[in-house]
Amino acid sequence: MSNANAVIAPASLVIGQLESDPLESSRAALVQGIGKTGDLIRNYAAALELWFDQKDTQGRTTAKWYELIGKEKKPVKAEREKFVALMVERGFAKPDGKPSATVDTYWQRVKEASGYVPRGRVQGSVDVDARTVSDLQTVINRILKAEEDGKEPNASQYKAHLIEVFESLGGDVDKLG
């Protein structure tokens, strides 16, 4: 028998007749969960700190859990293995079954929530204006290089404005190009 002639009730009738509307409940769950990832990461980081940070006799932290080495690091490694296994179980795996990059990304976020500062990043010392000048220099140089190569990017029409902002923020025009 062909399903082509089957009568299908509109989803709105079926959903509306259920005691708990799955569309409404899933929408509410999504909206409720938005923004909670940071809280969940911080909570997990706090638990790792509680269990694995090393403390002196006055209760001051002498070594963070992510700094431990050798035999002191074994329990942290075991915890990470449990974390990875659960992430893979929940679908964060490559087709070959190995953990996806998402697993490492979340572990990194947990470490950062505990105070870890990745190499090359100085925490709390980001000068937005200095970084903006650097980024503008990169953008302007990209436009200039394209023009030198005989291209006419749309960005060229904004080059003068970008240079003006670059100079206003303290950039050295002589260093462009």
- pLDDT digits 0-9 by tens, 112-169: 999 998 876 555 556 788 888 889 999 999 999 999 999 999 999 999 999 999 888 8
Query: For the chain, how many structural domains are there in total?
Result: 2
Inside any domain, residue 23: no
Note the pTM of the prediction, 2 decimals: 0.54
Q: Which domain holds residue 136?
A: 128-175
Inside any domain, residue 50: yes
Residue 35's beta-bridge partner residues?
none
For residue range 65-115, what is the model confidence (pLDDT) as tens digits? 999 999 999 999 999 999 999 999 999 889 998 998 999 999 999 999 999
Whether residues 142 and 91 fall in one domain: no
Whether residues 109 and 133 fall in one domain: no
Last residue of a domain, one of 60, 88, 113: 113
Whether residues 53 and 97 fall in one domain: yes
CA distances (Å), origin 25, targets 7, 20, 39, 67: 27, 7, 22, 42
Q: Are 105 and 37 in contact (CB under 8 A)?
A: no
Inside any domain, residue 136: yes
Q: Is the pLDDT of residue 51 over 60?
A: yes
